[in-house]
Amino acid sequence: MPPAPSRIFELKGSVRNYPWGGYDFIPDLLGIPNRNRQPFAEYWLGAHPQAPSRILEEGKDLPLDQMISESRGALLGPKAQGRFGQLPYLLKILDVREMLSIQVHPSRQEAEKGFIRENLAGIPLDAPNRNYRDTNHKPEVMVALSEFWLLHGFRPVPRLVQVLREIPEFRSLIPVFEKEGYFGLYREVMEMDGESLRHLLQPLLGRVMRLDREGRLQKHDPAFWAARALTSGMTTMDQPDRGIFSIYFFNIVRLLPGEGIFQAAGVPHAYLEGRNVELMASSDNVLRGGLTSKHVDSAELLRRTLFSETIPQVLLGYATQEGMEKTYSCPVPDFSLSSIHLHTNEPYRGNSGGADLVLVLSGSVVVTGSRNLTLARGQSFIAFCGEQYQIQRQEEALLFRASIPEVAASGL
């Protein structure tokens, strides 16, 4: 009887050179020279049609999405294939040198309705003014690899009122917030005409730039990031970007390495600075709220934003496999994220229920299963449904594992 075909493969991901990316971290991770100092913003591992990873096998170099589709469910297994039809997640490494745009992601139901509505309106999928490029939601979880700063949800009422009172230009907004709450306040600034916008933000930006030049701003202060937006060109004094309001209205969160956070549908957020591992549902649906040159649809943003106070829930992960693995809880069926720290001779044992995608972030390892692999820093593999594998360290190693949760893969 011929041996069963292998269900474990080495992967090669895709680099995204967005302008906000750093210059050294991702090239160093992947062993890529960057003599021209290009920005390396993201490294993608997954089957996203925009940039699918490639299967590295002797004599083959196939896009991952094509390989999964051609297997007719044999690789993901019948339950995960029936539920998702394709690999449901996208794993990324991010190096955020300059702050990203204010963003909100829709729920799956909102995405389905929006996708159909824009199709009926005849908006091309690649149009700049397209909000919904697919029918999927886009929840995200991230784990910090360095000190990481981000905006996450609206400040609790007492803290937001304090901000409105302390900033002279914002005091006129207090009656709006007292009468109409978060929705009324955000609608007021997102629909504000250009002249009113300049009237409120120009003096504020002038003041924060003076404080910045004097070295009096700290990263926990919204003024620090308002100044950063101005010096990076994301806003100007002549035409202030309304995303500046979000910097003051949202929670500023600092994460330490190993700490994580989950971004649910409707929660407004923005990455400010740092490096992280990010795992998300495979989708392109983003509604932007400023600090960007891309399309901002204020009306749709107001319909999809969660207008309530947010107490940031920092994820520390819970330990499994005798403490060598930490899993970061995500309340979605599409993905699960964990870190694996191999510092003893004890192997990590994996059993893929759909598709386990593993990236070596540091060190080197030997993977044994239906195919044996030796992987160093920056290399990765995917193990499909039914694959039992072991990971043994060659030297102390840190890995991240993306997987389909057991409940989703089993169809329960």
Rounded to two decimals, the pTM is: 0.95
Q: What is the pLDDT of residue 214?
A: 97
| SS3 track for the chain | CCCCCCCEEEEECEEECCCCEECCHHHHHHCCCCCCCCCECEEEEECCCCCCCEEEECCEEEEHHHHHHHCCCCCCCHHHHHHHCCCCEEEEEEEECCCCCCEECCCHHHHHHHHHHHHHCCCCCCCCCCCCCCCCCCCEEEEECCCEEEEEEECCHHHHHHHHHHCHHHHHHHHHHHHHHHHHHHHHHHCCCHHHHHHHHHHHHHHHHHHHHCCCCCCCCHHHHHHHHHHCCCCCCCCCCCHHHHHHHEEEEEECCCCEEEECCCCCEEEEEEEEEEEEECCCCCEECCCCCCCCCHHHHHHHCCCCECCCCCECCEEECCCCEEEECCCCCCCEEEEEEECCCCCEEEECCCEEEEEEEEEEEEEECCCCEEEECCCEEEEECCCEEEEEEEEEEEEEEEECCHHHHHCC
CB 55 within 8 A of CB 49: no
Is 155 considered catalytic here? no
Per-residue buried b or exposed e for 217-233, using 16+ beta carbons within 10 Å of the residue's own CB: beeebbbbbbbbbbeee
* 412 residues of the chain, pLDDT tens digit each: 344 578 999 999 999 999 999 999 999 999 999 999 999 999 999 999 999 999 987 767 899 999 999 999 999 999 999 999 999 999 999 999 999 999 999 999 999 999 999 999 999 999 999 999 999 999 999 999 999 999 999 999 999 999 999 999 999 999 999 999 999 999 999 999 999 999 999 999 999 999 999 999 999 999 999 999 999 999 999 999 999 999 999 999 999 999 999 999 999 999 999 999 999 999 999 999 999 999 999 999 999 999 999 999 999 999 988 889 999 989 999 999 999 999 999 999 999 999 999 999 999 999 999 999 999 999 999 999 999 999 999 999 999 999 999 745 554 3
Q: Which domains does the chain have, with CATH numbers?
A: 14-310 (2.60.120.10), 318-410 (2.60.120.10)
Q: Catalytic pick from 275, 288, 377, 393?
A: 288
* Closest to 96 measured CA to CA, from 16, 21, 14: 21
In the chain, % of residues over pLDDT 90: 94
Per-residue pLDDT at 60: 75
